[in-house]
Structure 1
Amino acid sequence: MQESVVTVSVSIRRTLIEGGVRPERIKVIYEGVDLDWVDSQHAPAFDYGNSGLVVGTVAHLSSEKGHQTLLEAASRVLSRVTDVHFVLVGGGPLMSTLKARVRELGIDEKVTFTGFRSDSEALMKTFDIFCLPSLSEGLSSGILVAMASKLPIVATRVGGIPELVIDGETGVLVPPDDADQLAAGLCKVLESPQLRKKMGCAGRQRIEETFTLERKLNETEKLYLSMLASVLDQSQDCG
């Protein structure tokens, strides 16, 4: 019987090959976005105060997601662009540590921690920029939804993220764990309404062309049918 390993990014495929899995067994099927569902989401009423532009992230508050770097970058951004608010959506073990760092940086009026939100995808519609400063990442469903929501992306060049975000076209990619570069990327997008709109529209188009739920389901069905055909061929040979 033909056996396949399905993975959601080329990055993970490389890791599996390094771990000894034969390349021909691995099939990359990207996650897909239900565009009708995304479009049906409405931004909830959420008061960020007199915030201006909103930079948001949606991720578990754990070390690999790079929130510490985001806060250091936020401090740098706010010294240059004051009319901006940072929103961290998600719960996790670093909540108290991150809040303490916000107080140390003196930016507590410019940062909101929402905790876990079951409506995080809808909450993205209150953002102007989606930021994901991960230190490692397989493939980010948050970035997929953000791009489908026409948000420009500022993220780190790790794991499967470069497979989603085209640097300079749908967003800005920066090295991981580099607050200066992350701040520079954020300022570049914050300071240009035209660039935000251009990247947001390009991101939506990329989702429509490559990362739809329909495409994912079709590719999954095609793989299963191929495996079934292989089994049937083997059974006929035995007969």
Structure 2
Amino acid sequence: MQKNEKSLNILQLTLSFENGGRKEAIRNLAAGMQGAGHKVFLGCVSHLGADEIDLTVFEDTIVFDRQKLFDFAAAKKLALFCASHNIDLIHTHDAGSLFFSSLAKFSFNKTPPQIMTFHRSLNFETASFKNKLRNMFSLIVSEGVITVSNARGRDFIASNLIKPKRLQLINLSADINRFSFDLDARNRIRDGFAIKPTDIVCGAMGHFGLEKGIDVVIKGFADLQQRLGEEGKSVHLMILGKGNEQDTSRLEKLISDFKVEGVIFAGFHPDPESYFSAFDIFLHSPREENGATVLFEAMATGLPIVGSLIGGVPEAIVENETGLLVDSDTPKQLADAAHKIIVNNELRGAMGLEGFKRCYLNFTREHYFNRHVDFYREVLK
């Protein structure tokens, strides 16, 4: 914060604060702003979905407990909270929260300016005409929209009936201190799964639904192991994440059908950075993707990445410098790219280093919150 600039009181508003990339993005933003002397509050429209330890970066937290779309009592609660806490701006993180904030503004005219970050994958929040009408109402009383990739910015404009007053690109980020390579963590995690120091570990992370493409990664890994032959026994796939019973069973059946060895379901962990240090390469093959915080976290750890040509993924990865790009939902291409990196130690190291440099120079938490504060001040002029 520059001299003579007023500190800001910002309400981060989301449906809930459950685990996922959006939660990490909001936490990174709040932590950076808090460190710079601003006050950041968390508001959850329906429920909290988080533990107390997740809330330390916020000045205060409130759940509005909305029961229906037009819940005027909950909307009034939002208006009163903004007034009592001198909120300068409401930053919403989904179309539902934006509508809730818009309802408060339209009904009580006591809420400050509002903006939204478009986190969702393609067409998730504009699938029906009803969604488009809801968004149109919200955008009329809003001051701007942030997108986390150019691809999703174009999608947002194409999918809605009106254009926002302002459209700002702010890429996602990683906490480079948290995700720095940790040799002790690498050895601890590998020892826990009986993985030799010289073995190669391919890492992947995401929920088990079709959207994140964990099934594509498993199929690609099966192809990779087959072409490596006997050497494939020293290559492992470690998957961080979880899914419902149906999705988990689908992936387990896939492993059985393809007779894949060396696949480790490591589960969901609040400290994925420890596991990232155990990886040698990161595989990310979603069918839909907005911006993917996980890619910047992988780069911060110094991992080369194989990613899909979908959504904001190509904007994070520099082809042949920080990783390789393949068509979405193509296990063979994924295996080709992973094989090229795995068998070449020099290439693997060079890509990992370039990825770290790219993250350090462009996608740190400091870059992320400074770009937001600049946009907040532009809106508040």
Q: Same fold by TM-score, threshold 0.5 exceeded?
A: yes
Amino acid at match of 2:263: V
Instruction: Quote the RMSD (CA, aligned, Å).
Output: 1.7
Q: Cα–Cα, structure 1 residues 170 and 23, in superposed 2: closer, same or farther, change >3 Å? A: farther
2:308 is matched with 156
**Contact 2:144 2:164 survives alignment (8 Å):** no
1:218 is matched with 370
- Structure 1 position 89 matched with structure 2 position 240: yes
**Contact 2:189 2:274 survives alignment (8 Å):** no
1:6 is matched with 146
Distance 2:204 2:361 in 1: 24
Alignment: residue pair count = 228
1:236 is matched with none
Distance 1:40 1:186 in 2: 21
Unaligned ranges ≥5, structure 1: 230-239
Distance 2:180 2:236 in 1: 24
Distance 1:197 1:24 in 2: 44
Distance 1:97 1:63 in 2: 10
- Structure 1 position 105 matched with structure 2 position 245: no
Q: Cα–Cα, structure 1 residues 40 and 73, in superposed 2: closer, same or farther, change >3 Å? A: closer
Q: By how many angstroms is 1:23 displaced?
A: 6.5
Unaligned ranges ≥5, structure 2: 1-112, 114-141
- Structure 1 position 45 matched with structure 2 position 45: no
TM-score (norm 1): 0.90
Equivalent positions of 1:18-29 (< 5 A) are 18-20=158-160, 21-22=162-163, 25-29=166-170
Which is richer in helix? Answer: 1
Q: Cα–Cα, structure 1 residues 45 and 180, in superposed 2: closer, same or farther, change >3 Å? A: closer
Q: By how many angstroms is 1:106 displaced?
A: 1.4
Q: By how many angstroms is 1:105 displaced?
A: 1.4
**Contact 1:75 1:105 survives alignment (8 Å):** yes
Distance 1:24 1:168 in 2: 37
Kindly, what percent of the aligned residue pairs are identical? 30
2:156 is matched with 16
- Structure 1 position 57 matched with structure 2 position 201: no
User: Matched residue of 1:92: which SS?
Assistant: coil
Which of 1 and 2 has higher RCO (CA within 8 Å, sep 6+)? 1
TM-score (norm 2): 0.57
CA deviation map 1:1-57 (0-9, x unaligned): 781111211111011110234266211111122212223864443433345100010
- Structure 1 position 169 matched with structure 2 position 321: yes
**Contact 1:48 1:85 survives alignment (8 Å):** no
User: Matched residue of 1:55: which SS?
Assistant: strand
